[in-house]
């Protein structure tokens, strides 16, 4: 095997040109991006809660107010679910762990994210449906306008579900890649 080793290490490598200041900034930027993403997720939920909560209180029509209240409650539920179940953002396993443990953690996080993304229609979108339907029927009754209103939301929700499903598929491909050669860790 020494032939292989000689061949492998006998490579000319240019000395690395690393700007530690730039690396530091990149590291800090990365942390800021994570923090910002978490704030956006929670902030968006709070915004919807406050806005629709306000509509619920001040809308003269009781039924429409109920619909707004249901949307605010849905936002509360979804924000709570995000905080409890974890963010939908990229996977972060501890890179300083032993590889076997790192891979286990990485796979577990991927599976968790895949589950979350696949079930977005149920836990993220479905809670808003009662509120949206109530508002539509309260405002437009049974007719073309309410169908249009509901249709717009259906397209928007469908788009969100599709994007998340695509995200889940990409993560599944990553997971499949990590599963290949798994026998090496188990033996």
Partner 1 sequence: MDILSPSSNMASDLSKADSLEVRTGLFRQITGQYAAGLRRTCRGYERDEARQDELMQEIWLALWTSLPTFEGRSSLKTWVYRVAHNKAVSHVSREVRIPETTPVEIDTLAQHLQDPETQLDRQRARKILAELIRRLPPVDRQLILMHLEGFSGKEIAEVIGLSPSNVTTRLSRIRNTLGRRENP
- Which residues contribute to the site for partner 1 (CB under 8 A)? 1, 3-5, 7-11, 13, 15-16, 18, 20, 23-24, 26-27, 30, 93, 95-103, 106, 173-175, 177-178, 180-185, 187
Q: Of 10 and 60, which CB lies nearer to partner 1 in the complex structure?
A: 10
Q: Of 73 and 106, which CB lies nearer to partner 1 in the complex structure?
A: 106
- Least distance from C-beta 134 to partner 1, angstroms? 43
Residue with tokens 């032939």: 3
| Number of helices and strands in the chain (H, E) | 8, 0
Buried b (16+ CB within 10 A) or exposed e, 94-104: eeeeeeeeebe
Residue with tokens 């499949």: 176
Q: Of 9 and 144, which CB lies nearer to partner 1 in the complex structure?
A: 9
DSSP secondary structure code for residue 161 in this structure: H
- Least distance from C-beta 39 to partner 1, angstroms? 21
DSSP secondary structure code for residue 96 in this structure: T
Residue with tokens 């923090």: 35
- Least distance from C-beta 117 to partner 1, angstroms? 16
- Least distance from C-beta 30 to partner 1, angstroms? 7
Q: Of 18 and 142, which CB lies nearer to partner 1 in the complex structure?
A: 18
Longest dimension (CA), the chain: 84
- Least distance from C-beta 178 to partner 1, angstroms? 5
Q: Of 21 and 141, which CB lies nearer to partner 1 in the complex structure?
A: 21
């Amino acid at each position: 095997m020494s032939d292989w080793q000689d061949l492998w290490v006998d490579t000319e490598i240019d000395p690395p040109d690393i700007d530690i200041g730039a690396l530091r900034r990149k590291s800090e930027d990365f942390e800021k991006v994570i923090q910002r993403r978490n704030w956006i997720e929670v902030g968006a939920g709070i915004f919807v809660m406050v806005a629709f909560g306000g509509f619920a209180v001040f809308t003269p029509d009781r039924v429409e107010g109920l619909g707004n209240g249901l949307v605010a409650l849905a936002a509360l539920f979804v924000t709570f679910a995000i905080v409890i179940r974890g963010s939908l953002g990229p996977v972060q396993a501890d890179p300083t762990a032993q590889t076997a443990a790192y891979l286990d953690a990485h796979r577990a996080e991927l599976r968790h994210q895949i589950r979350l993304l696949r079930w977005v229609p149920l836990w993220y979108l479905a809670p808003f449906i009662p509120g949206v339907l109530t508002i539509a029927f309260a405002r437009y009754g049974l007719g073309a306008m309410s169908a249009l209103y509901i249709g717009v939301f259906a397209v928007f929700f469908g788009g969100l579900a599709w994007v998340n499903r695509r995200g889940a598929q990409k993560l599944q491909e990553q997971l499949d890649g990590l599963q290949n050669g798994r026998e090496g860790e188990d033996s």
